[in-house]
Amino acid sequence: MTMIPAIDKKSKKMSECTTEYHMDSRGSLKKSEKKICTYDRLYKIPRKKDRIYEQESSFTPKILNKSKSLVRNDKVENLLYEDAQRRIGQQKLIES
């Protein structure tokens, strides 16, 4: 004999399509005429964090013409290291 779990009335009602609510301009909840199923609400409708990610990933920086035409003979890492060494040397000269 196998056990088959029974689904109570509240659970059945939750799994059915329900009325969607939205905020009006004054901030109060209003019933929408559109019904939405729980599965769609949870898995198919884009979530807020997905929309935020889309907004963040749509950023494209504006590069100036001067930066575009800049030519470096060395790797950026080497240039930064040499600049740091130069600044340390200047700091030592000032302190002594």
Q: Using one digit for the tens of pLDDT, what is the confidence trace for 14-60?
A: 667 767 777 777 878 777 777 777 777 677 766 666 666 666 666 78
Residue 47 to residue 33: CA distance in whole angstroms: 21
Mean pLDDT across the stretch 64-74?
89
In angstroms, what CA-CA distances link 63 with 53, 73, 74? Answer: 23, 20, 21
pLDDT score, position 48 = 65
More confident: 82 or 41: 82
pLDDT score, position 47 = 65
pLDDT score, position 25 = 78
Residue 7 to residue 49: CA distance in whole angstroms: 32
